[in-house]
Amino acid sequence: MSTERTSDQENKLIRLAVALRDGTRSGRVKWTANSDGSTLTAATPSGAVEVTSLYSQSYVLSVYDKDGHRIDSISRGKSPDKPGILQGLYEVARDQALNVSGIVDAIIKDVSG
């Protein structure tokens, strides 16, 4: 039995990334961040997902089952990541988990006199 990922599996993970991004934008998906904000986690009744920024412009989406076992992952550069899907997911998840936009807006207001 081959352990090579099929294009159907890769496409399914890309569809998951799009669904997560859209669900985050609409408020259906809630994220939490690790201490440095590089890994963001969203839990569902069926399992959990993490999106991680490894270094500049490199992102990984990992899928976990209910017991916390990583069952699949996809990374930019080793997948048919349609331009920026994993990066876009990371950015909206990070903004939501850390309230980046809200904090920046508040600081702008603070210093704008």
List the domain boundaries for the chain: 7-111
- Cα 45 to Cα 26, 29, 113: the distances in Å are 19, 12, 46
Residue 12's pLDDT band (boundaries 50, 70, 90)? very high
Residue 67: φ, ψ to 5°: -90, 0
pLDDT digits (tens, 9 = 90+) for 15-40: 999 999 999 999 999 999 999 889 99
List Cα–Cα distances, 85 to 56, 71, 77, in angstroms.
15, 20, 12
Residue 58 has pLDDT above 90, yes or no: no
Read off φ and ψ for residue 30, nearest 5 degrees: -115, 135
What's the Cα-to-Cα distance from 99 to each of 4, 27, 36, 86, rounded to whole Å? 38, 13, 14, 19
Backbone angles phi, psi at 84, to 5 degrees: 80, 10
For residue 2, the model assigns a pLDDT of 46
Query: pLDDT-based confidence at 5, cuts 50/70/90?
Result: low
User: Is pLDDT above 70 for 77?
Assistant: no
pLDDT score, position 55? 77
pLDDT for 79 equals 54
Burial 29-39 (b: 16+ CB within 10 A, else e): bebeeeeeeeb
